[in-house]
Structure 1
Amino acid sequence: MHTCLLFSDLHITAPGETIIGLDPADRFAGALDQALTTHPEARHLLILGDLTHTGHPEEYARLRTLLADCPLPVTATLGNHDNRAAYFAAFPEAAQDGDGFAQAALDIGPCRVLLLDTLDESGAHPLHAGYLCDTRLDWLSARLAEAPDRPTLVAMHHPPVRTGFDGMDRIRLVNDTALMALLNDHPQVRQLVCGHVHRAISGNRAGLAWSILKSPCHQMPMLLGAEGSGHSTDDPGGYGIALLTPDTMILHAEDVAPARPVAHSSHS
């Protein structure tokens, strides 16, 4: 069994700037420390976009400092709060697909993980919505075709599914139908994991299991049907733990608590 840590929606700000009174850098640092401490067996750290809050170079520089001592390989992709040029300027060694997108194919143990870059900087679609252009979809198709026997996890920022939060659903992946048709043509794809909504959610679309991660910083309150995408609450932050085996993919959602009680086993 191979373990990967998954984070999304860090929203790192410049020093001194907060989101609903929370410092995203402090929240991410605490969550990452907890994840690394409790899962020393982890093989990789995946970050699924919205690395920063405004895409400014100062924010990426702060993120680089936060990741400097991470003992794991780190692979990230981008979300709607990111800036692709600023990201690659701060992380010139970061994984990309050869066409300038933050996409990567990782073979971890018996499984394959494909990260997709859904940041839309074209201006042709609703602000903050995600999009996968033909170039990115062609890259995905090629990566799927070259490893048809490897159980595959696909990770991205924008969900290609509706969640019941109307405002967030309006800024999901714009071309969700095209992506799902491609994924459903490849039975080795076992799981889809996304961010963007800032809440732990899971479901199934056309036979494919999907999950959405919480943010380590601020969360989406339970306001089903709500319009708008700016709803936030200071509920505990969270992250994901993916367990990869040849037979199954298990995704745990873990909250970050300021004090963690010691677990005791009991028998009755």
Structure 2
Amino acid sequence: VLIILHHPPVRLNIPEMDEDNLRNAEALAELVRPHGARVAIACGHLHRTASTVFAGALLTIAPGLSHAVLRTAEPPTRFAMEPPGYVLHGLIDGAWTAETCPTGTFDGPYPFRDAEGGFID
């Protein structure tokens, strides 16, 4: 099961963002806990990439598509124009995966192997 929420049920020590987290996170934990790793939870809100385990489930927080909230322990919270991205979730052999994918134009792609099949150092 993949549960998709905007507000995460965990704190990341960014006070101005944490105060607007999911209400009743413990109620969600009670629903998720019996199923543990068979559940993944995808969130946004923080415009910052993070992951943890919540009630035995993989929990990911996706980066922003427009800007990134900076990690500041004291207000005021600020943002910066870091590279945007998204998180691609998958279920492979019964295990959840989460791959952070930056968007934009970057150098590459470059080959790993030369014409003879050897690794390029």
Amino acid at match of 1:240: V
Structure 2: state its 5+ residue gaps. 114-118
| Deviating 4+ runs (over 4 angstroms) | none
Distance 2:53 2:19 in 1: 19
Aligned length: 115
Structure 1 SS opposite 2:41 = strand
Distance 1:239 1:263 in 2: 22
Is this contact kept in 2: 1:221–1:233, CA < 8 A? Answer: yes
Amino acid at match of 2:41: L
Q: CA deviation at 1:248?
A: 0.9
Q: CA deviation at 1:187?
A: 4.1
The aligned counterpart of 1:262 is 109
Equivalent runs, 1:1-268 vs 2, <5 Å: 152-187=1-36, 189-223=38-72, 225-228=73-76, 231-266=78-113, 267=119
Q: CA deviation at 1:202?
A: 0.6
**C-alpha deviations, 1:9-32, integer Å up to 9, x for none?**
xxxxxxxxxxxxxxxxxxxxxxxx
Q: CA deviation at 1:171?
A: 0.5
Is this contact kept in 1: 2:83–2:102, CA < 8 A? Answer: yes
Moved more, 203-212 or 235-244: 203-212
Looking at secondary structure, tell me which structure has more helix per residue.
Answer: 1
Q: CA deviation at 1:195?
A: 0.3
Structure 1: state its 5+ residue gaps. 1-151
TM score, norm. by length of structure 1? 0.40
Quickly say closer, same or farther: Cα 1:227–1:185, change in 2 above 3 A: farther
Distance 1:165 1:260 in 2: 32
Quickly say closer, same or farther: Cα 1:188–1:236, change in 2 above 3 A: closer
TM score, norm. by length of structure 2? 0.83
Distance 1:189 1:263 in 2: 36
Distance 1:189 1:162 in 2: 23
Looking at secondary structure, tell me which structure has more strand per residue.
Answer: 2
Structure 2 SS opposite 1:210 = strand
Quickly say closer, same or farther: Cα 1:212–1:252, change in 2 above 3 A: same
